[in-house]
């Protein structure tokens, strides 16, 4: 099989979050464009062809996000700059300070705040996810990469990889956070659903729960969502959801699967969970697969307590490939610049192996 193509957008470089604000403290950003550069270098050296991403059609974004969120994100930086906030009080990134908490409002719907500095809290669910001058353009670039990879698969490639940066899997229909602005994986899944019919499986192996896709598709049977991640009950992001008891609701009842892992889990328990997720997805009889590939479960990554090796990531790629489905891979987390490229490369190599084995098995069945 030819090497899995890599969809790439130069616009990802325009996003410089500069910092994260965590417990009120401004700490250096870890979601930086050097992540994407390291991945691209590693994949190019391994012979993966690079395909330039085309900008996304707005309707592809509106398939999974509210118009109000899109409009907010598109204009957030310009409004912030025009308001003079970078000079007084000296905040050079868009950041929330006040949130329309259900406990604040009771039964009232929130009013649209007039103050620029109040508006952000309507759309941001954390303080870590800052918006600067090029953030929106980069988020569009990442979504465009996801859609370009999706079109490659719809055109017949067995698999395609989108080097999405900023990542997307924490974004819901109406709110952003977790260093994410647009849900690239959900956008890809919606496009596959539109073209191929359902169900489409969206499986997330980032170290953190894929809360965005879960919430977007929670009442939907046509996109089945699953996530293997460090247990939020052990104190990890996203804290408020991501538990094993969340199975979906209404028509989506049974169409969500969370498998949680204890901090410190290494290859054996993590791969056991990935195999369990793959078996669950197989039972849903999907027509296509989106993999939300975070490599921050790796040992040595600063952002999670899981201890997965590169060998483990390769085995996970193979297990996912054995589903034998048209597969779009979107990049999520992974913050260790020294290893991120090799981890993605190994996962794609495993995916290639698994897809080839699945195709050979299918051929044997047809002839046998
Ligand atoms: Zn993560």
Q: What is the pLDDT of residues 236-277, one digit of tens each?
A: 999 999 999 999 999 999 999 999 999 999 999 999 999 999
**pLDDT value at position 364?**
75
CA of 334 relative to ligand 1 center, distance in Å = 7
Please tell me whether residue 51 adopts helix, strand or coil conformation.
strand
CA of 109 relative to ligand 1 center, distance in Å = 32
Contacts of 100 (CB under 8 A, 6+ apart): 110, 121, 122
> What does the pLDDT average to over 351-355?
98
**pLDDT value at position 357?**
97
pTM: 0.98
Alpha-carbon distance of 160 to 226, in angstroms, equals: 20
Alpha-helix residue ranges (DSSP H) falling in the chain? 33-45, 58-62, 67-82, 102-105, 116-119, 135-154, 184-196, 211-216, 267-283, 310-321, 340-367
Split at pLDDT 50, 70, 90, the class of 367 is low
CA of 155 relative to ligand 1 center, distance in Å = 30
CA of 333 relative to ligand 1 center, distance in Å = 4
> What does the pLDDT average to over 113-125?
96
**pLDDT value at position 99?**
96
CA of 78 relative to ligand 1 center, distance in Å = 29
Residues around ion ligand 1, judged by CB within 5 A, are 206-208, 294, 296, 333
**pLDDT value at position 366?**
65
> What does the pLDDT average to over 125-150?
98
Tell me the C-alpha to C-alpha distance, in Å, between residue 287 and each of 157, 195, 258, 328: 14, 11, 21, 12
Pairing between β-strand 25-28 and β-strand 19-22 as defined by DSSP bridges: antiparallel
pLDDT tens track for 299-341: 999 999 999 999 999 999 999 999 999 999 999 999 999 999 9
> What does the pLDDT average to over 88-108?
96
CA of 360 relative to ligand 1 center, distance in Å = 34
**pLDDT value at position 48?**
98
Catalytic annotation, pick one of 15, 65, 169, 170: 170
pLDDT tens track for 8-50: 999 999 999 999 999 999 999 999 999 999 999 999 999 999 9
Split at pLDDT 50, 70, 90, the class of 362 is confident
Alpha-helix residue ranges (DSSP H) falling in 286-339? 310-321
170 catalytic residue (yes or no): yes
Q: Is the dihedral of CA 117, 121, 125, 126 positive or negative?
A: positive
> What does the pLDDT average to over 58-62?
98
The overall average pLDDT reported for the chain is 97
* C-alpha torsion 281→287→207→31, nearest 10: -170
């Amino acid at each position: 099989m030819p090497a899995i193509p890599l969809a790439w957008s130069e616009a990802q470089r325009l996003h410089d979050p500069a910092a994260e604000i965590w417990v009120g403290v401004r700490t250096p950003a870890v979601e930086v464009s050097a992540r994407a550069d390291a991945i691209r270098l590693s994949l190019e050296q391994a012979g993966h062809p690079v395909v330039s991403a085309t900008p996304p059609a707005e309707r592809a974004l509106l398939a999974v996000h509210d118009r109000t969120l899109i409009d907010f994100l598109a204009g957030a930086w310009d409004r912030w700059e025009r308001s003079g906030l970078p000079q007084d009080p000296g905040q050079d990134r868009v950041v929330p300070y006040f949130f329309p908490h259900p406990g604040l409002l009771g039964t009232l719907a929130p009013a649209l705040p007039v103050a620029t500095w109040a508006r952000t809290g309507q759309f941001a669910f954390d303080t870590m996810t800052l918006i600067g001058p090029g953030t929106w353009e980069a988020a569009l670039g990442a979504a465009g990469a996801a859609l370009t990879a999706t079109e490659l698969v719809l055109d017949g490639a067995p698999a395609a990889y989108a080097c999405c940066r900023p990542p997307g899997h924490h974004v819901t229909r109406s709110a952003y956070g977790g260093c994410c602005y647009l849900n690239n994986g959900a956008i890809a899944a919606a496009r596959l659903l539109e073209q191929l019919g359902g169900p489409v499986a969206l499986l997330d192996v980032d170290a953190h729960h894929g809360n965005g896709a879960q919430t977007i598709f929670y009442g939907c049977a046509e996109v089945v969502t699953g996530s293997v991640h460090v247990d939020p009950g052990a104190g990890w992001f996203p804290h408020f959801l991501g538990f094993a008891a969340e199975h979906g609701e209404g028509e989506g009842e049974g169409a969500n699967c969370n498998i949680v892992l204890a901090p410190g889990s290494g290859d054996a328990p993590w791969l056991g969970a990935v195999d369990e997720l793959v078996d669950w997805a197989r039972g849903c009889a999907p027509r296509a697969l989106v993999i939300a590939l975070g490599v921050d479960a790796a040992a040595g990554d600063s952002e999670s307590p899981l201890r997965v090796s590169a060998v483990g990531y390769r085995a996970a790629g193979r297990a996912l490939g054995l589903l034998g489905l048209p597969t779009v891979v979107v990049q999520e987390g992974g913050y260790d610049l020294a290893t991120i490229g090799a981890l993605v490369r190994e996962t794609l190599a495993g995916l290639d192996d698994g897809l080839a084995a699945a195709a050979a098995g299918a051929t044997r069945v047809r002839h046998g």
